[in-house]
Chain A
Amino acid sequence: MNKKIFSLLTLLMVAALLLGACGDGEETEAPEAAATEAPEVVVTEAPPAETEAPEVVVTEAPMIGEGFTACEVTDTGGIDDASFNETAWNGIVNAEADFGISSAFVESQQQTDYDVNIAGFLDTCDLIIAVGFLMDAATQASANANPDQMYAIVDVDFFDFVAFEDITLDNVKELTYRTDQAAFLAGYVAASVTETGIVGTFGGMSFGSVTIFMDGFYYGVEYYNAQNSADVQVIGWDPAAQEGLFTGNFESTDDGRAMGVTLMDEGADVILPVAGPVGLGTAAAVQEAGNAWIIGVDADFTLTAPDFADVTLTSVMKNMDASIYDVISDLLNDLFVGGLYIGTLENGGVGLAGLNDVVSADVQAELVDIIAGIIAGDIQTRP
């Protein structure tokens, strides 16, 4: 009897892990280190020897630039979040097409996965790309312990809060983005479009790389008010108090829907959701209500979520794909230098996607001047 239970349980487990682990079918190489430390294993009774790393999908294209592998460790929310993780992954995919490198990714299901997932890539990957602010400590620790391994991390600028000085590691590229500059433009456009005089925003969690969007959005609306003596209100974010509306996660589309509905109840008719796929729930609510608009973040929503193209006003682009592509290109050409990268309107690291037709030509023309003003430093885009 006991044997039967065990074999049934094992079968289930192996099936679960295999399904999680198997990739394109061309090649499946689960990193050794992750095999014994995979987070899934902790809760289960299956023998460690039979398990494989969760969610590792390895793809390989037979082209030039061989022998180089770029690997992405995603934040929670999944590689296919139509926004944050996916945009970063697109940079690798583009490099794969152009240089013929190999690639792999592993999805972090929870925050405790970060260390394990990074460690799992140590032996197999030439470049480990940690996507997300929350991986700060895990990446820094790993980079210090493995000076020959190359890293890139998104949304993090290493800083030592004890010695109070900036940290620069030779083997880590810190990719940061002045998304407030692009969100500022979105705020200006939103204020020009609203009919109720109220625009809204909310975030996934209250940390810098999220709230910077909301700061810029708020300042853009305020700038519109000042320029056109209008009185458009922003609800959901208060840059002075740095407090606002948050779902507390980056996964639940149902929460995103509720946020959208709540903001529309309070009169908002343009909404900027800064919460990855959660924003798609907001888009669904906006689409159902009609007469309202959504602003995409990270990637162009009209491309990543075409179902909602008709309610997408514009998107605040954080061009992680371009900067990750550049990092890979630099590494291949021995031009890699560790340290900080700041994506701005000027260098194309951030930007605004195509505008919906509802935006007037006058506003489009004004945007050109505003962009020039921001680049020149004449316009303040955050507190």
Chain B
Amino acid sequence: MASTTTPIISSEYVSPTRQRVMGFVFLGIALAILVLFAMQVEPDQLTTFKMKLPRSEVDIPNWVFSSSLALNILWVICALLGGYQLVRGFEKRTNLVLGLISGMFIFGFLTWATSGDSLNLAGLLRNTLLKAVPITLGAFSGILCERAGVVNIAIEGMMLTGAFVATVFGSLTNAWGGLIAGVLAGGVLAWVHAILSIKYKTDQIISGTVINIFSVGLTSFLSARFLAQPEYSYLNSPEDFEIYKIPILSEIPFIGPIMFERNIFVYAMFIFLFVLHFGLFFTRWGLRLRSVGEHPKAADTLGINVYRTRYMAVILGGMMAGFAGSYFTLGSVPRFDELLTGGKGFISLAAMIFGNWAPIGSLGAGLLFGFADSLKNNLALLKVAIPSEFLLMAPYIATMIVLAGVVGRGQMPAADGQPYEKE
């Protein structure tokens, strides 16, 4: 396929082959909506989306509409878009239209699944956002490290340790004390990772694996030995961050209660998104960080201290992972249980790759993974006959497709994973 020679994400040129292929993809999705969904619902069935979160003060009526009418409109729009793509082509807007059509497919799927039943759409989106928080923050951690050329597969371990330390210090002091301690704990582990992989040029995968194993062993032992014992239970009830309503914004119907009635971790995710995106791509700091990840020798020649830059990036990345871990015990459930991160650190890595080593892309990937995770619960409640395992697989299949370069090739930092040897 032509896309192997043209990175689509940044390119403005779309080859005729790709244009034709995409046209057929759009038509295929239209056909799928028609056959799988539109033809499966009864004409008089209604779809009810509840738009209000329980206990939310902003009142908003349910959204009720005819399932078959909505699905018919959806497939016709998709078919028209596909036809236009084949005849004239959307040129550089192809990916945008692809996103739009994917969105319509998912909406069609929800409409079909909910026909004759009801689904709390606001709740689904709120869960999506919350599930995305640790994944996206973890992906930010990965971006910081890998953009500087150091692979960090220890995000999971740093999260776990961060969660543990945040719990203990959050119990002894307050939520902020716990958060600072959790962030520092992630930083300390990252410092070990940095020494091993930058100074001693150990294989970065091995160093990361060691940290993961170390974290599981340490936290499980300390948890079983202390936190679980009744006499130490005061160490396992941290003060957590309360929900902070943003004035005015939280009054917006529908979106307000979903996005602006959350705790600081959700807001921090958006702040970090902005800071990281701006910092990486629009400041001297970011240029230097990226240069040691792309071509450390050139950076060194120009007088950039490669080692120091990498140390800085890895430790910042570890602190970010510690922050992500603190979410579990200070922002979600105020207690530590063994292995409570449940592999989210590894999913973060997938989100980072899916997001093409960029903050905005990673948030998108995090939201996608969060959506799939939340949707599977709602589908189980709606008794949709799709095994939930398949739905859980969906984001990873998408990641593999991205990695295979079908949708657009990801660009990993050129010197990612390579220790730098000064000559």
Contact B337 A253 (CB under 8 A): yes
Quick one: CB contact mask for B380-394 with A, threshold 8 Å, 1 for yes?
A: 110100001100100
Contact B334 A284 (CB under 8 A): yes
B280: which A residues are within 8 A, CB to CB? none
With the chains together, A252 CA to B339 CA distance in Å?
Answer: 7
Contact A45 B206 (CB under 8 A): yes
Contact A4 B200 (CB under 8 A): yes
For residue B310, CB closer than 8 A to chain A, the reply is no
Q: Which of B8-16, B82-90, B105-113, B123-131 contacts A (4 or more CB under 8 A)?
A: B123-131
Contact B216 A107 (CB under 8 A): no
Rounded to whole Å, the gap between the CB of A62 and the closest CB of chain B is 21
Contact A289 B54 (CB under 8 A): yes
Contact of A9 among B202, B328, B337, B344 (CB under 8 A): B202
List B115-151 residues whose CB lies under 8 Å from chain A: 120, 122-124, 126-127, 130-131, 134
Rounded to whole Å, the gap between the CB of B49 and the closest CB of chain A is 12
Contact A266 B120 (CB under 8 A): yes
List A73-89 residues whose CB lies under 8 Å from chain B: 76-82, 86
Rounded to whole Å, the gap between the CB of A52 and the closest CB of chain B is 11
Q: Which A-chain residue is minimally distant from B127 (CB atoms)?
A: A258
For residue A152, CB closer than 8 A to chain B, the reply is no
Contact B333 A281 (CB under 8 A): yes
Contact B54 A265 (CB under 8 A): yes
For residue B305, CB closer than 8 A to chain A, the reply is no
B332: which A residues are within 8 A, CB to CB? 253-254, 257, 281, 284
List A242-271 residues whose CB lies under 8 Å from chain B: 243-246, 248-249, 251-259, 261-267
How many chain-B residues does the 8 Å CB contact rule pick out?
61
Q: Which of A12-20, A326-334, A357-365 contacts B (4 or more CB under 8 A)?
A: A12-20
Rounded to whole Å, the gap between the CB of A307 and the closest CB of chain B is 6
For residue B218, CB closer than 8 A to chain A, the reply is yes
Contact A280 B214 (CB under 8 A): no
Contact A253 B340 (CB under 8 A): yes
With the chains together, A1 CA to B339 CA distance in Å?
Answer: 35
A265: which B residues are within 8 A, CB to CB? 50, 53-54, 120, 122-124
Rounded to whole Å, the gap between the CB of B371 and the closest CB of chain A is 12
Contact A245 B335 (CB under 8 A): no
Contact A78 B224 (CB under 8 A): yes
Rounded to whole Å, the gap between the CB of A6 and the closest CB of chain B is 9
B221: which A residues are within 8 A, CB to CB? 19-20, 22, 55
Quick one: CB contact mask for B209-253 with A, threshold 8 Å, 1 for yes?
A: 111011011101111110110000100010000000000000000
Known A80-B224, A80-B227, A266-B120; contact A251-B338, beta-carbon cutoff 8 A = yes
B214: which A residues are within 8 A, CB to CB? 12-13, 15-16
Contact A81 B338 (CB under 8 A): yes
Rounded to whole Å, the gap between the CB of B112 and the closest CB of chain A is 18
List A28-57 residues whose CB lies under 8 Å from chain B: 40, 43-45, 54-55, 57
List B362-417 residues whose CB lies under 8 Å from chain A: 373-374, 377-378, 380-381, 383, 388-389, 392
Contact of A16 among B210, B338, B374 (CB under 8 A): B210
A245: which B residues are within 8 A, CB to CB? 377, 380-381
List A102-120 residues whose CB lies under 8 Å from chain B: 107, 109
Contact B227 A262 (CB under 8 A): no
Report which residue of A235, A241, A266 has the largest number of chain B beta carbons within 10 angstroms of its beta carbon.
Answer: A266
For residue A351, CB closer than 8 A to chain B, the reply is no
Contact of A254 among B50, B209, B340 (CB under 8 A): B340
Contact A258 B377 (CB under 8 A): yes
Rounded to whole Å, the gap between the CB of A246 and the closest CB of chain B is 7
For residue B196, CB closer than 8 A to chain A, the reply is yes
Across the A-B interface, the 5 shortest Cβ-Cβ residue pairs: A80-B228, A265-B123, A252-B342, A78-B338, A20-B217
Residue contacts A-B, CB under 8 angstroms, 11 given:
A9-B210, A16-B213, A43-B213, A55-B217, A82-B228, A254-B332, A256-B333, A262-B127, A265-B53, A265-B54, A284-B334
